[in-house]
Structure 1
Amino acid sequence: MKITNDDMKVLLKAQQGELDAVLMYKALAKKVKRTKDAETFNRLAQEEGHHAAVFKNLTNRVLKPKKTMAIVLPLLYSIIGRKRLYGLIAKGEYAAVEKYQAVVEKFPEIESVKNDEKRHGDMVMALLND
């Protein structure tokens, strides 16, 4: 299947986002106070790494994760608190579902990634109900 320039832009942006999320979740896991939150963020980091690999298989490009979110989110945790931050994180996960929906039809292997993003948002929101 031919990947158009527009497809490649979407796929590369998604791959970068997933890579960045690995570092972000690992950094959050070290920062948060509750063990369950840390365990959840470590699990999410692992799953986001798998997602990055799915996109790498499509793009055939090796990208380097950017540390920006891994620096900013732990700071936000201290400044705005877990309730507000977790809501923002979940919103980001749910937004990824919409972005991936646009390319799922052409790249069916993204369907599981899209479904995971919804589950990730739900997992982060569930931490607020504990």
Structure 2
Amino acid sequence: MELTEQAKATLLAYQQTEITEHQIYMRLAQSSASPDNRRILERIAQQEREHARIFTSYTRQDVQPNTFKVWFYYLISRIFGFTFGIKLMEKGEEKAQANYEDFAEMVPELKKIIQEESEHEAALINLLDEERLRYTGSIVLGLNDALVELTGALAGLTLALQHTKLVALAGSITGIAAAFSMAASEYLSTKSEQTAKNPIKASVYTGIAYIITVLILIFPYLFFGNIYVCLALTLIAALLIIAGFNYYISVAKDEPFRARFLEMAGLSLSVAALSFGIGFLMRTFFGIEL
């Protein structure tokens, strides 16, 4: 069948997408330390190369992979984990794959490609084993506890102390002490459970997540003078952390974003508002003026 210029241009775009994904999967396979993950990634890469070959048989033209996308998704995968990077890439290609059906009569093999993209490939991706996703629960524990506890503490300290540096000092001491406490609790909890998780690694993930959150939340109090501006920036930072982490989980683990975000945001802001009120009452009751 003779292709129109428009049809050929569309098939060439699909062809470039497949060969680009082939390159991404091959790069990730080469950088994977796990033999099992490497085999899975290489298998998907071969599948993508076969898809590109099918398109080439119709376009009769070779295309180069999109170098920007290759490096973008490779770096995203290296920084945030290959499961996140791969699923983010696949989500970005869903619209293109949905349009494959428009050419199903022209390219009969597209039915096979669509099936492999939606079923076989998804099943292979779910077989990938990544350490950071196994310890997601520990990270959630550290983040959630730090967000709820420290936003509340900073809100209460803001009204009680009325001094940015004092709030930063008190918040830092409280946060770091709590981080070590949470890490120790996670170690004991994981050790007592019958899981494949390493107790030391679980405690480290929890402690690091907690400390990073503490540092971000107290940052405004170190560089701004207005106590209420600092509190507002801290609450905004808390919402951004919640949004960013829940977006990561929603992509990497195919979980709903909206419900998780609203739940965590509601808890953190509610505790902050309650603590702010307690700080006001304590300041008034004791008659403290700093």
Which bin holds the TM-score, normalised by the shorter protein?
0.7 to 0.9
Q: TM-score scaled to structure 2, two decimals? A: 0.40
Q: 1:52, CA displacement in angstroms? A: 0.9
**% of aligned pairs identical?**
25
In 1, distance between residues paired with 2:14 and 2:43?
19
Q: 1:33, CA displacement in angstroms? A: 3.6
In the other structure, the counterpart of 2:234 is none
8 A Cα contact 1:28 1:70, kept in partner: no
In the other structure, the counterpart of 1:110 is 110
Decide whether aligned partners of structure 1 residues 41 and 114 sit closer, same or farther in structure 2, where only a CA change above 3 A counts: same
Decide whether aligned partners of structure 1 residues 102 and 52 sit closer, same or farther in structure 2, where only a CA change above 3 A counts: same
In the other structure, the counterpart of 1:68 is 68
In the other structure, the counterpart of 1:125 is 126
Decide whether aligned partners of structure 1 residues 37 and 89 sit closer, same or farther in structure 2, where only a CA change above 3 A counts: farther
In 1, distance between residues paired with 2:66 and 2:86?
21
> Where do 5+ consecutive residues of structure 1 fail to align?
none
Decide whether aligned partners of structure 1 residues 13 and 105 sit closer, same or farther in structure 2, where only a CA change above 3 A counts: same
Q: 1:101, CA displacement in angstroms? A: 1.5
- SS in structure 2 at match of 1:64: coil
In 2, distance between residues paired with 1:42 and 1:64?
19
8 A Cα contact 1:100 1:114, kept in partner: yes
Alignment of 1:34 onto 2:34: yes
Q: TM-score scaled to structure 1, two decimals? A: 0.82
The higher-RCO structure (CA 8 Å, 6+ apart) is 1
Q: Which has the greater radius of gyration? A: 2
Of residues 55-64 and 114-123 in structure 1, the stretch that sits farther from structure 2 once superposed is: 114-123
Decide whether aligned partners of structure 1 residues 98 and 128 sit closer, same or farther in structure 2, where only a CA change above 3 A counts: farther
In the other structure, the counterpart of 1:80 is 80
In 2, distance between residues paired with 1:66 and 1:5?
21
In 2, distance between residues paired with 1:121 and 1:84?
13
In 2, distance between residues paired with 1:64 and 1:82?
23
In the other structure, the counterpart of 1:46 is 46
